[in-house]
Amino acid sequence: MKKNELEAPKEIERLVVTTIEPKFKHPTIFKWFDVLKAGESFIIENDHDPKPLYYELLAERGDIFTWEYLEKGPEVYEVKIAKNPVSETGEETVGSIAAKDIRKAELLKSKGIDFSCGGDKTVKEASADAGISEDELRSALTEVSKTPPAPSFDYDKWELDFLADYIVYTHHRYVKENAENLNDMAIKVAEHHGDGHPELNRLATITYHFLQDLLDHIVKEEEVLFPVIKQIVAKTKNAESETNYRIGSLNEPISLLLKEHDIANEDLNFFRKLTDNYTLPEGACNSYRYLFQKMQEFENDFKAHIHLENNILFPKALQMDAELAKLN
């Protein structure tokens, strides 16, 4: 028996992302990934779902890794990131399949297929190991890609103070954690491709102002409006609860915030017009692709964010404020 056969398996290194300064988080993770050898892996630990990183890795490094959730919140998220071995046959491996689509990764896991250490296996090899036919596995992979997203929460039934906190810890956090990266990427792509695509220079400039305005906007919500909404909820439940705002005056700040929502939405619509709905030119580099992908992701999050405020939080808060005003 060889000496190395007696050695214990090397412990997978762990990177605790919450201990890293925000602007260095993604660069540090990329540095850890880049030094991996084929087949090696490390674990990241975070206090929220790092799914945006999955798309950034895919955009910047391609489908050469696997992404496996070891723990999915709510307080701790652990993800094992592995660099895939190169397939000797040139056929698509289960590792590359898992890297391209998290839904397929979850399916492979449910079938007992190891796409991490066994990520270099072909679909045929993996299905044989799992004791199912190749046709059955390929059919299941095709079907799962058609699966619609999981149904959303019934936000309309949530208490307004809880909904306000949810917005802060999901959508506001998303803006804060992605704004700098998005701005830097817009500048980088404009510097490299602005001569051939001058619209990118304008996109970078307007993106900067858009993000600054949005960051200022969420400060107003977190420091002014949301505390007032919590006071309204408390006052509605207990008439003795104290408030430090003038009851019946909520319409004015909400009107201002709604107008800012409209302006931000117009900016996003202009971005789409400027980029022809984020149509990539032929031969676009990974950074160019990632920028457009990130812009669309940011837009999707913004629309979900604003839906919660415009259609649920704000109208209900105004109604409760008006009812309190009738009692005073």
**pLDDT digit string (tens) for 116-130?**
545 567 888 888 888
What percentage of residues in the chain have a pLDDT greater than 70? 86
Residue 15 confidence (pLDDT) above 90: yes
pLDDT at residue 34 in the model: 84
What average pLDDT does this structure show over 27-37? 88
Range name among 53-62, 77-86, 177-186, 288-297 with the lowest pLDDT average = 53-62
Average pLDDT, the chain: 85
Euclidean distance between CA atoms 93 and 174, whole angstroms: 33
Of 97 and 272, the structure prediction assigns the larger pLDDT to 272
What average pLDDT does this structure show over 159-180? 91
Neighbours of 53 (CB within 10 A): 20
Of 210 and 122, the structure prediction assigns the larger pLDDT to 210
For residue 218, which of 188, 269, 266, 261 has the smallest C-alpha distance? 261
Euclidean distance between CA atoms 102 and 79, whole angstroms: 12
pLDDT at residue 5 in the model: 44
pLDDT at residue 295 in the model: 93
Of 311 and 142, the structure prediction assigns the larger pLDDT to 311
In terms of pTM, does the model score above 0.75? no
